[in-house]
Amino acid sequence: MVLSKKRGNELIPQYSLTGDLLSYLRCGLQYRYHNGSSLPPSRPVQLWFGEFIHGVMEAAYRIWSTTNPAFPWPSNPTPYRQAPPKGRSAHDIGVIGDVVEGTLMAQGKSARSRDTRDNAYVRAQKAVNELGPHLFPLIASAEERVIGTRTIPNSSANASRSQLYELHGIIDVVTDVQLSGATTKNVIKQAIQDSCPGLSGNYEVIVDYKGSRRPATSEPYWQQGEWQVQTYGWLRTRQANSLPVAAGVLLYVNELSPVSSDLVSLRREVSNNKTDVIPANGTPDSYALNAWRTGNAIPNFSLAFRLARAIRVIPIDPTSQATATNNFDKVVASIEQCVAQEAVAGAINPNWAPCGDEETCAACDFRHFCPSPYPHKKGHVVGAPSAP
Ligand code: SF4
């Protein structure tokens, strides 16, 4: 019997759903620059804010599940660069925030300004006190790691390093929801039931916190958010202990406390029919939004309207999962192609598309030597990793 020669070890590239695929879609060139260095970005405002909200919600859930303090929880943040106030309780959002800020600081991440930090505490307080009473009782597990292996499409044509890739991620929250169709006072459960009529029984629902406003339905982030939870759903069903996944829920925390720029965007999206949650005609929320002008105080929108803007439910089924995962496969193929082109050319810039949007470019460390920061020069952005 002739023994076949041992095959060489094959490199299986590993991709994080948020750290790689969504980052690459945000800007290909920025993604490449960050991956060439282990240093965290120097002004990671989006990163810091999102991670601060995640950290506070995670810690608040742990406290709620052990000692169950009644809502609303107090919020007395440590004043900027001063000593913490005395006499705060363990569930004070200021105390929770100190721990989260300290952890992020140790990783080299801090708020860009005092305003950013103050704003983060306001939103964290709203997230805990307005979403927490509905979300925390549904949580089955938090920070759930998921992993799966997928095929890279056209791997030979793209000169990919492998035919397969490993996809991994961390689901913020997995909830165990009993769907019955009966009306409930839990706004998150009610939103899931409204979006998944006809389902009954026990299901998992995947929840992801977003440190951002609800995007316009025409923005790439709208579709990418859907792909993200659909793909988490696919990864989750690879785990032995999972129940059927009914839906994903994105929680857009900024909607709980909008600032002026959020209202400018909302008014524009309402007039262009580019958002799916608007105040009903004739309501105080509708009047306040129509009457608001830049420079005016932010109106006191109702809790119901703010929660409706914050909660987005995306039903998950095998067809929608296949669409989302196939799209992320194409993103991986696109990254692999850039890697191969750079290896041949020996240069970064021509092989990774500088395609950040206005907000991404404004906070980007590389904007001073980027060949095409926002607003992009006409005709310069070739091969941008737009939505596949
Ligand atoms: S400045 Fe903008 S386009 Fe250039 S690398 Fe940064 S995010 Fe990308």
Whether ligand 1 lies within 6 angstroms of the CB of 211 is answered as: no
Instruction: Output the residue whose Cα is nearest ligand 1's atom 5.
Output: 30
Q: How many angstroms does the Cα of residue 23 sit away from the middle of ligand 1?
A: 12
Residue 54 has pLDDT above 70, yes or no: yes
- For ligand 1, say whether the CB of 360 is within 6 Å of any of its atoms: yes
Closest CA to 195 of 179, 208, 210, 175: 179
**Measured from the CB, is residue 30 less than 6 Å from ligand 1?**
yes
pLDDT band at 80 (very low <50, low <70, confident <90, very high): confident
Packing angle, helices 45-67 and 114-126, rounded to 10: 30
Is 50 exceeded by the pLDDT of residue 222? yes
What length is written for the chain? Answer: 388
The response to whether residue 367 sits with its C-beta less than 6 Å from ligand 1 reads yes
Predicted confidence (pLDDT) per residue in 181-219, tens digit: 778 899 999 999 999 988 888 999 999 999 999 999 999
**How far is 324 from 344, CA to CA, in rounded Å?**
31
| C-beta neighbour count of 330 within 10 angstroms | 15
Residue 8: CA count within 13 A, CB half-sphere:
4
Instruction: Please state, in angstroms and as integers, the Cα–Cα distance from residue 185 to each residue in 108, 129, 189, 193, 310, following that order.
Output: 41, 16, 8, 12, 17
The rounded Å distance from CA 192 to ligand 1 centre is 37
pLDDT of 243 over the 50 cut:
yes
Check whether 2 has a pLDDT greater than 80. no
pLDDT for the residue 201: 87
Beta carbons of 210 and 131 less than 8 angstroms apart: no
Inter-axis angle of helices 260-271 and 284-291, to 10 degrees? Answer: 100
For residue 384, pLDDT over 60 is answered with no
Best residue among 42, 367, 372, 381 to mutate for probing ligand 1's pocket (most ligand atoms within 8 Å of CB) is 367
Peptide bond into 40 cis (omega under 30): no
Tell me if 284 sits within 8 A of 306, measured CB to CB: no
First to last CA, the chain: 49
Q: How confident is the model at residue 383 (pLDDT cuts 50, 70, 90)?
A: very low
- Look at residue 37 and tell me whether its pLDDT is greater than 70: no
Q: What pLDDT score does 108 carry?
A: 82
User: Of the ranges 45-49, 124-128, 228-232, 357-361, which one carries the lowest mean pLDDT score?
Assistant: 45-49
Task: Look at residue 300 in the predicted model and tell me its pLDDT.
Answer: 96
More confident call, 365 vs 331: 331
Please work out, in degrees rounded to the nearest 5, the angle formed at the alpha carbon of residue 384 by the alpha carbons of 379 and 388. 135
Position 382 confidence tier, pLDDT thresholds 50, 70, 90: very low
Q: In ligand 1, which atom is closest to the CA atom of 360? A: 7
Ligand 1 centroid from CA 135, angstroms: 36
- 192-206, 244-258, 365-379: which range is least confident on average? 365-379
pLDDT band at 364 (very low <50, low <70, confident <90, very high): confident
Longest dimension (CA), the chain: 85
Which atom of ligand 1 sits closest to the CA of residue 27?
8
Residues 108-163 have pLDDT tens digits of: 888 888 998 999 999 999 999 999 999 999 999 999 999 999 999 988 887 888 89
Q: What is the pLDDT of residue 365?
A: 84
Give the pLDDT of residue 200: 86
364: Cβ contacts below 8 Å, ≥ 6 apart: 27, 30, 41, 356, 370, 373
Alpha-carbon distance values, 274 to 90, 225, 229, 263, 292 (Å): 42, 16, 21, 14, 19
Contact of 126 with 164, CB cutoff 8 Å: no
Portion of the chain with pLDDT greater than 90, in percent: 69
Per-residue model confidence (pLDDT) at position 386: 46
Q: Residue 165, class by beta-carbon neighbours within 10 Å (0-12 exposed, 13-18 middle, 19+ buried)?
A: buried
Pairing of strands 164-179, 14-16: parallel
Q: What's the pLDDT band for 4 if we cut at 50, 70, 90?
A: low
Q: What tens digit of pLDDT does each residue of 257-270 get?
A: 999 999 999 999 99
Q: H or E segment at 252? A: strand 245-252
Evaluate: CB of 373 within 6 angstroms of ligand 1: yes
pLDDT of amino acid 388: 47
Which is the closest atom of ligand 1 to the Cα of 29?
A: 5
User: Does residue 205 line the site of ligand 1, with CB under 6 A?
Assistant: no
Whether 100 lines ligand 1, by a CB cut-off of 6 Å, is no
| H or E segment to which residue 15 belongs | strand 14-16
How much is the pTM? 0.90
Residue 380 has pLDDT above 50, yes or no: no
Per-residue pLDDT averaged across 53-78, rounded?
A: 97
The region of weakest confidence among 319-323, 328-332, 350-354, 361-365 is 361-365
Least confident of 4-8, 196-200, 318-322, 351-355: 4-8
The number of the ligand 1 atom at minimal distance from the alpha carbon of 28 is 8
Average pLDDT of the residues of the chain: 89
Which atom of ligand 1 is least distant from the CA of 371?
A: 4
- Summarize the confidence of residues 352-356 as an average pLDDT: 91
